[in-house]
Structure 1
Amino acid sequence: MSSLRLAPAAAGARLLGLGSVQPDTVVTNDDLARRIDTNDQWIRDRVGIRSRRIADEKTLLVDMAADAGALAVEDAGLTPADIDTVIVATCTMPNPIPNAAAQMADRIGVNGIGAMDLNAACAGFCYGTGVAADMIRSGTARHVLVVGSEKLSDWLDMDDRSVCIIFADGAGAAVLGPAETPEDVGVGPVAWGAAGDLVSTIGIDEKNYLRQEGQAVFRWATTKIAPIAMEALDKAGLTPADVDVLVPHQANLRIVEAIAKKLRSQGARDDLVVADDIVHSGNTSSASIPMAIDHMRGAGRVRSGDVALIVGFGAGLSYGGQVVVLP
């Protein structure tokens, strides 16, 4: 039997560029208080959010994905012709067919390439980055565009205080490319999994509304996610002291702070930069991690070459994290 030929492998993958977009409409806590029984202080005390962005009816999830993806390709110094795979991480497409990836790829001029959606909810960007890095390392792909895009407002009951104060819309993207030498590797191994026994804590009900058991998710995230972050560091051969930037999924500011506190107890530095994009962006599920990094970069809070620990978690309950070097 003849042996099969494999594509030339790469040493690993690295991030080349980032991009993000948000809708123009800002919805404050006071705006919500005019509709439901809540107030600004109540929301800030529980989830840390002051405002969020909500898309209008004409803006599609695919529109946001395409805009963020185009910015990431440009930021990477590439053209659409250089992209050979597109992965869209999302859990809020209005219909499963056709997928978002093929539509957004066509919109930015990327044609005749692999295009697929990936649904790991709020862990989607980490899952997508892990898949993309392995594709590049194996030689299956060279430049992969990973986009987290969500229009959660399509699935919200605006009279349900437990969800309408939290979730929002937006898209964040990253381009991954090959590391030519082992020293250039900028994406570590993914540490991922799912707690399927808790699948009922977040889901879509019979009216097509997003529902969640907030306290159950909070308890799970504040106890289980820091160990996943530590596992991602161990897989990359690093310690908490090596991390410059911590970017947890922006689910709840109290969860973010709890994860940061546990990492500091394990040796993370006092100058660790911790993402807090949820304050003004809300919870944008799979878009939250790349969007937070892009916003921090724009504000000058992070620099090229910084070592970032990213960790996502959400419905499923799915979780995943890895170490990346910022472009």
Structure 2
Amino acid sequence: MALPVRGTRLLALAHHQPARVLTNHELATMVDTSDDWVRSRVGVVSRRIAGPDESVADMSTGAAAKAVARAGVDAAEVDLVVVATCTAVDRMPSVAAVVARRLGLPSPAVFDVNAACAGFCYALSTADLAIRGGAGRTALVIGADKMSDFLDWQDRSTCVIFGDGAGAAVLTAGTADGGTAADAVGPVVWGSRPERGGAITLGSPSPTGPPALFRQEGGTVYRWAITELAPLARSACARAGVAVEDLAAVVTHQANVRIIESLARQIGATNAVVARDLVESGNTSAASVPMALSKLLERGEVPSGAPVLLLGFGAGLSYAAQVVRCP
């Protein structure tokens, strides 16, 4: 049994998106909307849509393979795989088990997490706690969703928002004598507002009826996000011992550009880069936080070792916030 460790750190991030780009102008030929309408209300300009034969497991594997390669770890070192998703079609085996098989990982613990758009932050925190408790040393954490399978393409209030994709991170144990608080994934601040959980739903499909479709009370979600989440994000900074003005970036769930900008202002991270991957990728649910951070790192907008606030939120109404140091 491995001994508990003082902290964990990120080794690498990567992402995968489908090839097909669906612009607002093309959407306007499918549903009663326009580029101006979508930009002004949501902030999305384009999104990626997976093909009928491209599954959540396919996208997860694409992101995971790149993350493992960037981390420079051997497959045998990965002893935990956690996938956050709410759109996997198959009930079992888990997406995590499929990814592990495809990557040739010999014997990791595998399971999926469903916390919808907060899923990646839940999965990252669960892996962090498992490593700190000595249950493993190296974890592969993935957020992936194929929202296009569950959208009503005649409902302009929802179909214009979403895209498909996956993001992955490799997390490893810090050394007991060499690690510092600055190396660690910070403590999570998480929870939910279950009494309002019905504001976002995706039901089970009927064998004889129509497919299950995503529904949300947009106004309820918007008001909750802009009134309750910023104090929780600041609390995560305080628990990590990082002043908000020292944050290098703020990466929230990419739900709506107005929510993103409102949260950034309320948090007070005046020196931080604010991720807006929503503009080119849409809302990718559990993939949105790791994908947005991966792109910031690829573009060199956040330096290695810099503190970044992650804030996921979504159905349930669930939330999770933590500060991480960039690889």
Aligned to 1:3: none
**Which runs of 5 or more residues in structure 1 are unaligned?**
1-5
Structure 2: which amino acid aligns with 1:302? V
What's the counterpart of residue 197 of structure 1?
Answer: 195
* C-alpha displacement of 1:95: 2.6
User: 3-state SS of the aligned residue for 2:14?
Assistant: strand
> What is the CA-CA distance between 1:182 and the residue it aligns to?
4.2
Q: Distance in 2 between matches of 1:278 and 1:301?
A: 17
Corresponding residue of 2:309: 309
Question: What is the distance in 1 between the residues matched to 2:93 and 2:172?
Answer: 27
The one-letter amino acid paired with 2:22 is V
Equivalent of residue 230 in structure 1, options 234, 244, 248: 234
Separation in structure 1 between the aligned mates of residue 42 and residue 173 of structure 2, nearest angstrom: 38
What CA distance in whole angstroms lies between the structure 1 residues aligned with 2:233 and 2:99?
Answer: 31
User: What is aligned with 1:254?
Assistant: 258
- 1:273 is aligned to 273
What's the counterpart of residue 33 of structure 1?
A: 28
Task: State whether residues 117 and 315 of structure 2, in contact with CA within 8 Å, keep that contact through their aligned partners in structure 1.
Answer: yes
CA distance in 2, matches of 1:63, 1:70: 11
How far residue 306 of structure 1 moved from its aligned partner, in angstroms, is: 1.3
Q: Matches of 1:33 and 1:173 in 2, distance apart?
A: 32
Please give the alpha-carbon distance, in whole angstroms, between the structure 2 residues aligned to 1:187 and 1:55: 32
Deviation at 1:233, TM superposition (A): 0.9
Residues 122-137 of structure 1: matches in 2 within 5 Å? Answer: 122-137=117-132
Amino acid at match of 2:174: A
1-structure distance, mates of 2:197, 2:267:
27
Alignment of 1:33-112 (within 5 A): 33-112=28-107
1:164 aligns with 2:159: yes
Q: Structure 2 CA distance, aligned partners of 1:227 and 1:198?
A: 19
Unaligned 5+ runs, structure 2: none
- Letter of the structure 2 residue corresponding to residue 190 of structure 1: V
Distance 1:188 1:53 in 2: 31
1:77 counterpart letter in structure 2 = G
The amino acid of 1:282's aligned partner reads G
Question: Distance in 2 between the 1:113 and 1:163 partners?
Answer: 37
Q: Deviations over 1:182-220 (max 9, x none)?
A: 415320000000110111110024640001111110111
Partner of 1:326: 326
CA RMSD in angstroms, aligned pairs only = 1.1
Within 1, Cα distance between the matches of 2:229 and 2:137?
Answer: 31
- TM-score (ref. length: structure 1): 0.95
Q: Equivalent residue for 1:142?
A: 137
Instruction: After superposing the two structures, state which structure 1 stretch, 20-29 or 87-96, moved more.
Output: 87-96
1:238-259: per-residue Cα shift (whole Å, max 9, x none)?
A: 2211211100000111100000
Alpha-carbon deviations, 1:96-150, whole Å to 9, x = none?
Answer: 2221110111011113210000011111111111111111111111000000011
Q: Secondary structure at the match of 1:319?
A: strand
How many percent of aligned residue pairs carry the same amino acid? 47
TM-score after normalising by structure 2: 0.95
Aligned-partner Cα distance in 2 for 1:182–1:230: 24
Q: Is contact 1:162–1:212 with CA below 8 Å preserved after alignment?
A: no
CA contact (8 A) 1:203 1:212 kept: yes
Matches of 2:14 and 2:183, distance apart in 1: 21
